[in-house]
Amino acid sequence: MRFAHQVGVVYLQHVVALLGAVRDGELVGHPSFWQLRQTRLARAAGHPVHLTVHEDVLVLAKPEASRG
């Protein structure tokens, strides 16, 4: 956010984008092949990792006066 402010954009909102679906009240992930592969490799190496089921999206905009 500090960098965004430095380059002249303003924060509008934070959106959580789900990478899956809600089925019967449960979140069901839709991981890619690569996500599954990396998770399995990490777990096999003894690292306690989980599949990511969301991404954080920051919505930023240039102020009206700055638009050309």
Cα separation, 47 vs 41, in Å, equals 9
Long-range contacts (CB closer than 8 Å, 24 or more residues apart) made by 29-36:
29/53
pLDDT tens string for the chain (68 positions)?
889 889 999 999 999 988 888 899 988 888 889 989 999 999 999 999 988 888 899 999 998 866 55
Domain extent listing, the chain: 2-66
pTM: 0.55
Contact of 35 with 52, CB cutoff 8 Å: yes
Contact of 22 with 28, CB cutoff 8 Å: yes
Look at residue 51 in the predicted model and tell me its pLDDT. Answer: 84
DSSP, collapsed to helix, strand or coil, labels residue 41 as helix
Looking at the chain, the number of H-run helices and the number of E-run strands are 2, 4
